[in-house]
Structure 1
Amino acid sequence: MLSRGRRFLLTRAAWWWVLCVGLWPLLGLVVLTVQDGLGANPAEYLIRATGDWTLRGLCLGLAITPLRAQLGWPELARYRRMLGLLTYLYACLHLACYVLFDMGLDVREIVLDVLKRPFIWLGASAWLLLSVMAATSFNRAVRWLGGARWQALHRVVYAVALLAVLHFWWMRAAKSNFNEVLVYAVILGALLAWRLQRAWQRRRQRAAKRTSV
């Protein structure tokens, strides 16, 4: 028999609750913008806030599989796509705030800024990879690519996480503020280590089966 928590995860109410929680930070930013509460530098505030929520979304999305395995709650998997798309939404907002508010949609200035500050192209690379993942996150794409190729493609999320942390670290380096970066790096490192350990255990199990045959 399923526990109460697992039964709740299967309900439509739980799906809407997770969606509302995911959109709550965006609503908060909209309210602050309307109320002129973004401080002396609104562009910097919005860029930083949307970037922070992108990194948090990456951490939560990558935590789904370990939590599902450790808790024995396969129902958590149904929220992985939603978390991925919410993360992509905040990544798009992060890029839009930079392009519109910080650079004034000046293509020449954006190109010069990318050449002058390499952490910008690190972030842009992460966004492009996320775009590929978002475009192939739907059932039709899974059927078109095939399960094995789709899974291999979506493992690029670890490259996205690495690029995002490097982008964040390089940006903070100018201000010598590494505390937040360290937190994200530790979380993502632990999640990656769990995945690598799991893959190694599976290889040992397959090798043991072949040896016993």
Structure 2
Amino acid sequence: MSWKRARLLLMALSLVPLLWYGQQLLDNRLGANPIEAVIRASGRWSLYLLLATLAVTPLLRLFHLKPLGSFRRPLGVACFGYGLLHLLLYVGVDQFFDGAAIWKDILKRPFITMGVATLLLMLPLALTSNNAMVRQLGGRRWKRLHRLIYLIAPMALLHLYWLTKADYRFAYQMTVLVALLLGYRVLHLARGHFVGNQGGKSVT
């Protein structure tokens, strides 16, 4: 399979959770509070896709698979899509578009404040995830903008921690994965700086 077809397959697969939960909802198989189940599921899948987006660079460098880089943008867009769905379900289905109640929640409930802020930071990344915007912004400016993901990841974790009421195992698991993926980048930068100071000769 070509990398282009693999990318298209990836985009199609990103819709599978949405279709599955939609079918479960129609079949009334999501328990006593199906709306809450779907809201939480959309948030979790946004986080899963955020991790997948962060995983592209380490996998690319470790296995020397340059075409993997083309997966980053579709994964990021899918991540934003599930995050937007997460918010819209809360706004439209849980709060019935009650602006006053939603604004009160944003001001008084930290996990909602953080969730909205995280999605707002994701918005410019999603809007510029196309070749036309890369050309318009220029490669360097585009890369600087998309480094917002390094801020978005810990913000998403804070949102998760603050909404969790009792069982923190999932939050801990996600924290470990984010720490590993961001930690790899820190080590890579540190190693590159050290090698540069040694005149380009690695001592490892």
The bucket for the TM-score relative to the shorter chain is: over 0.9
**Selected match of 2:184 from 190, 194, 208:** 194
User: Post-superposition shift, 1:119?
Assistant: 1.0
Structure 2: distance between partners of 1:60 and 1:166: 18
1:49 positional shift: 0.3
* Cα deviation code 1:75-129 (max 9, x no counterpart): 1111111111111110011001110111111000001111221110101111001
Q: Of 15, 27, 50, which residue of structure 2 is paired with 1:58?
A: 50
Give yes or no for contact 1:126–1:163 (8 Å, CA) kept in 2. Answer: yes
Distance 1:28 1:160 in 2: 27
The Cα of 1:198 is off from its aligned counterpart by: 0.8
* Counterparts of residues 79-90 of structure 1 (less than 5 Å): 79-90=71-82
Establish whether residue 170 from structure 1 lines up as the match of residue 162 from structure 2: yes
The 5 Å alignment of 1:6-85 reads 8-12=1-5, 14-85=6-77
Structure 1 letter corresponding to 2:172: L
1:119 equivalent to 2:111? Answer yes
CA distance in 2, matches of 1:75, 1:195: 19
Structure 2: tracts of 5 or more residues without a match: none
Matched, 1:134 2:111: no
How far does residue 38 in structure 1 lie from its aligned partner after superposition? Answer: 2.2
What does residue 3 of structure 1 align with? Answer: none
1:38 alignment partner, SS class: coil
**Number of equivalences:** 201
| Secondary structure at 1:165 match in 2 | helix
**What does 1:143-162 correspond to in 2, within 5 Å?**
143-162=135-154
For 2:95 and 2:17, locate their aligned partners in 1 and report how far apart those are by CA, in whole Å. 24
Any stretches of 5+ residues in structure 1 without a counterpart? 1-7
Cα gap change, 1:146 to 1:189, in 2 (>3 Å): same
Q: Contact 1:9–1:75 (CA<8 Å) still a contact in 2?
A: no
The share of aligned pairs that are identical, in percent, is: 37
Q: Give the structure 1 partner of residue 174 of structure 2.
A: 184
Of residues 78, 90, 95, the one that matches 1:98 is 90
Per-residue CA distance 1:40-78 (angstroms, 9 max, x = gap): 112211110000001000000100000111111111111
Identify which range, 193-202 or 33-42, moves more after superposition.
33-42
Residue type at the aligned position of 1:58: L
Amino acid in structure 2 at the alignment position of 1:188? V
SS of structure 2 residue aligned to 1:39: coil
